[in-house]
């Protein structure tokens, strides 16, 4: 998201980082106020990560795909348990 803001809106990366942090803070505040259920948030996160992986594939960006899949693994516990 930071790179997108820098490239499309012409802001510095630091300004992009601050903007994204502020947006996340607003989202957290809205979630707290709305009393959203955890299962709803997990479903939204899964959808976002799947879409991120799809976009990474379409843009030939294997790093984005690997990152999205790694986060899906952490969120959903897809990998076998490591001892």
pLDDT at 83: 55
* pLDDT block averages, 10 residues each, the chain of length 83: 84 89 87 79 90 94 94 88 64
Ranges of H-type helices in the chain = 2-9, 13-34, 38-58, 62-76
The residues, any chain, with a CB within 8 Å of residue 46's CB and separated by 6 or more, are 72, 75, 76
* pTM for the model: 0.56
């Amino acid at each position: 998201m930071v790179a997108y803001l820098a490239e499309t809106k012409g802001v510095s990366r630091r300004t992009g980082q601050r903007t994204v942090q502020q947006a996340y803070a607003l989202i957290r505040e809205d979630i707290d106020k709305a009393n959203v259920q955890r299962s709803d948030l997990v479903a939204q996160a899964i959808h976002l990560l799947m879409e991120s992986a799809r976009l990474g594939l379409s843009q030939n960006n294997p790093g984005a795909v690997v990152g999205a899949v790694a986060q899906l693994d952490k969120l959903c516990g897809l990998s076998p348990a490591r001892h």
